[in-house]
């Protein structure tokens, strides 16, 4: 090839490389607003960066300022990874990685065996060699002046990397770092939320048994098993029991919340649950004493339906709604509980219009209700509607949020309506089997 032809070929290669770099930058910019998870973004980075940098393995490690550690978070390789995998860590201070991250300048090691001979105490080099890596290109990830972590390109061949690869990385470094930083921030928030939920579960679980014990001991005292109490003593013990029961209800709510937040809520639907006998009746027995204490009556209008659902979770929902109706309803009023079968037209995946059958639960009480603008807040976490008539009524503000999550898990819907100053009604529906769903119970009334 003549000198002029060589010049033309070099110029063409340069233009192709510039075009590849521009394409990579555009791909990385699209990741900023893609809504992808951290690992999905890194998979795209893996496929994109191969246009400008050679490698058969790529990994990302993030720097934790609190611990001073660099921890591997993601590894993708064309061959088996034996040693330096996700979770591998090293201290940054005093390591050969520190100047790379602090100064923001990539480093090339084209023969890791020679590097180990010169640095025999390097644990990371020993381990990466066990994975069959011979060349390594280490690049800093930085957002402005802040160190995020390190990106490692690796090859099983020696002498893979050259200065042009550093130029290629630096050309896209800002776009790459911004893309990774954004999703890392979201991923860290999700992990923090998960950790918070786990701590919440641990604390609530540890409180559950002692509180139950306090309530049991209180009941033993009031029933006279250790001697008759004076009126003043009995009043104080009753208050202790009431406070313990209130705290146990909070604990139950927080246990449910922690399982929802971590995605660990146990969902075990039965194929044919009797909604009246397995869901509604047991919860009415629990709430009837509280209703009587306020001079309230619970009336029912029930169709006997069976549905594929988790009876334990549905009891949580129904108990929340009925308990709220008793707590927030007016004294000497009535609460109406209804269960009916309803059908609605919907569209199947094929586009065909089909009739769907649902079990529709509703709980209605007379009371102050809520204003239209408050409706959107009802099913959010820690939301309680303040009203002078409700002063002194306690609760966690979690019951309706938990109820909504359970109903969504059943493929259903939950909503509420009210006429302020007069009444409030909460309704939820869950799908029925599309064949017969009525229970054959001749002579059984509501």
According to the model, what pLDDT value does residue 352 have? 77
Whole-angstrom distance, CA of residue 115 vs CA of residue 281: 75
Of all residues in the chain, the percent with pLDDT exceeding 90 is: 35
Whole-angstrom distance, CA of residue 159 vs CA of residue 113: 12
Question: Residue holding tokens 């809504």?
Answer: 35
Q: Which long-range contacts (CB under 8 A, 24 or more apart) does 379-382 make?
A: 379/403, 379/404, 379/414, 381/257
Asked if residue 276 has pLDDT above 60, the reply is yes
Domain residue limits, the chain: 59-160, 192-261, 273-431
SS3 267: coil
Query: Could you give the count of Cα atoms lying within 13 Å of 46 in the half-sphere of its Cβ?
Result: 17
According to the model, what pLDDT value does residue 427 have? 95
Mean pLDDT check: name the lowest of 122-131, 152-161, 243-252. Answer: 243-252
Asked if residue 228 has pLDDT above 50, the reply is yes
User: By the 8 A CB rule, do 26 and 33 touch?
Assistant: no
Q: Given pLDDT bands bounded at 50, 70 and 90, which one contains residue 223?
A: confident
Asked if residue 429 has pLDDT above 50, the reply is yes
Q: What is the mean pLDDT of residues 200-227?
A: 81
Whole-angstrom distance, CA of residue 185 vs CA of residue 178: 11
Strand pairing category for 89-91 and 297-302:
unpaired
Listed residue (254, 242, 305, 314) closest to 283, CA to CA: 314
Asked if residue 444 has pLDDT above 50, the reply is no
According to the model, what pLDDT value does residue 245 have? 73
Whole-angstrom distance, CA of residue 83 vs CA of residue 104: 26
Q: What is the mean pLDDT of residues 240-252?
A: 76
- Sign of the CA dihedral with 51 first, then 52, 56, and 60 last: negative
Query: Could you give the count of Cα atoms lying within 13 Å of 121 in the half-sphere of its Cβ?
Result: 3
Q: What is the mean pLDDT of residues 347-361?
A: 81
User: What pLDDT, in 10s, does the model give residues 306-318?
Assistant: 999 999 899 989 9
Task: Give this prediction's pTM.
Answer: 0.53
User: By the 8 A CB rule, do 123 and 130 touch?
Assistant: no
DSSP string, 147-212: EEEEEEEEESSSS---HHHHHHHHHHHHHHHHHHHHHHHHHHHHHHHHHHHHHHHHHHHHHHHHHH
Whole-angstrom distance, CA of residue 242 vs CA of residue 289: 14
Ramachandran angles phi, psi of 112, nearest 5°: -70, -25
Listed residue (152, 132, 137, 146) closest to 60, CA to CA: 152
User: By the 8 A CB rule, do 300 and 263 touch?
Assistant: no
Whole-angstrom distance, CA of residue 54 vs CA of residue 78: 12
Mean pLDDT of the chain: 81
Whole-angstrom distance, CA of residue 101 vs CA of residue 50: 22
Select, from the ranges 217-221, 370-374, 442-446, the one with the highest average predicted confidence (pLDDT): 217-221
Asked if residue 147 has pLDDT above 60, the reply is yes
Q: Given pLDDT bands bounded at 50, 70 and 90, which one contains residue 3?
A: low
Q: Would you identify the CATH topology of the domain 59-160? A: Beta-Lactamase (3.30.450)
DSSP string, 35-59: ---HHHHHHHHHHHHTTTS--SEEE
Query: Could you give the count of Cα atoms lying within 13 Å of 414 in the half-sphere of its Cβ?
Result: 23
User: What pLDDT, in 10s, does the model give residues 283-305?
Assistant: 899 889 889 989 999 999 999 99
Domain 273-431: CATH class, spelled out: alpha beta
Ramachandran angles phi, psi of 340, nearest 5°: -135, 160
Q: Given pLDDT bands bounded at 50, 70 and 90, which one contains residue 12?
A: very low
Whole-angstrom distance, CA of residue 366 vs CA of residue 279: 23
Mean pLDDT check: name the lowest of 27-31, 101-105, 204-208. Answer: 27-31
Token pair belonging to 22: 């521009």
According to the model, what pLDDT value does residue 214 have? 85
Strand pairing category for 353-366 and 334-347:
antiparallel
Ramachandran angles phi, psi of 57, nearest 5°: -155, 135
- DSSP-derived letter for residue 254 is H
Distances 79 to 86, 99, 154, 381 between C-alpha atoms, Å: 15, 29, 11, 46
């Amino acid at each position: 090839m003549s000198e002029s032809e060589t010049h033309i070929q070099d110029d063409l290669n340069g233009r192709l490389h510039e075009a590849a770099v521009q394409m990579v930058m555009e791909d990385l910019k699209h990741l900023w607003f893609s809504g992808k998870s951290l690992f999905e973004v890194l998979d795209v980075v893996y496929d994109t960066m191969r246009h400008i940098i050679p490698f058969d393995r790529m990994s990302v490690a993030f720097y934790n300022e609190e611990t001073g550690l660099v921890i591997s978070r993601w590894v993708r390789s064309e061959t088996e990874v034996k040693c330096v995998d996700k979770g591998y860590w090293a201290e940054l201070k005093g390591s050969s990685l520190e100047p790379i991250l602090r100064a923001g300048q990539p480093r090339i090691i084209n023969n890791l065996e020679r590097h180990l001979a010169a640095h025999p105490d390097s644990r990371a080099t020993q381990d990466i060699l066990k994975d069959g890596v011979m060349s390594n290109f280490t690049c800093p990830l930085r957002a402005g002046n802040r160190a995020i972590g390190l990106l490692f390109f690796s090859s099983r061949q020696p002498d893979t990397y050259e200065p042009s690869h550093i130029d290629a990385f630096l050309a896209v470094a800002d776009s790459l770092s911004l893309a990774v930083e954004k999703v890392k921030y979201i991923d860290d928030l999700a992990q923090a939320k998960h950790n918070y939920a786990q701590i919440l579960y641990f604390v609530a679980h540890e409180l559950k048994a002692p509180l139950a014990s306090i309530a049991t001991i209180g009941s033993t005292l009031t029933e006279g098993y250790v001697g008759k109490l004076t009126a003043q003593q009995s009043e104080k013990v009753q208050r202790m029991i009431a406070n313990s029961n209130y705290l146990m209800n909070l604990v139950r709510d927080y246990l449910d919340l922690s399982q929802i937040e971590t995605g660990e809520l146990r969902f075990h639907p039965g194929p044919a649950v009797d909604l009246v006998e397995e869901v509604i009746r047991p919860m009415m027995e629990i709430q009837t004493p509280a209703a009587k204490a306020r001079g309230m009556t619970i009336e029912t209008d029930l169709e006997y339906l069976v549905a594929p659902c988790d009876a334990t979770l549905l009891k949580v929902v129904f108990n929340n709604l009925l308990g709220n109706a008793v707590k927030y309803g007016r004294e000497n009023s009535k609460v109406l509980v209804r269960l009916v079968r309803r059908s609605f037209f919907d569209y199947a995946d094929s586009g065909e219009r089909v009739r769907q059958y649902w079990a529709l639960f509703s709980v209605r009480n007379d009371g102050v209700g809520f204003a239209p603008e408050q409706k959107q807040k009802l099913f959010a976490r820690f939301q309680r509607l303040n009203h002078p008539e409700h002063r002194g009524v306690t609760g966690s503000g979690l019951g309706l949020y938990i109820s909504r999550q359970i109903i969504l898990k059943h493929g259903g819907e939950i909503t509420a309506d009210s006429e302020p100053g007069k009444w409030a009604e909460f309704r939820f529906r869950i799908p029925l089997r599309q064949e017969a769903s009525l229970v054959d119970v001749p002579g059984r009334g509501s």
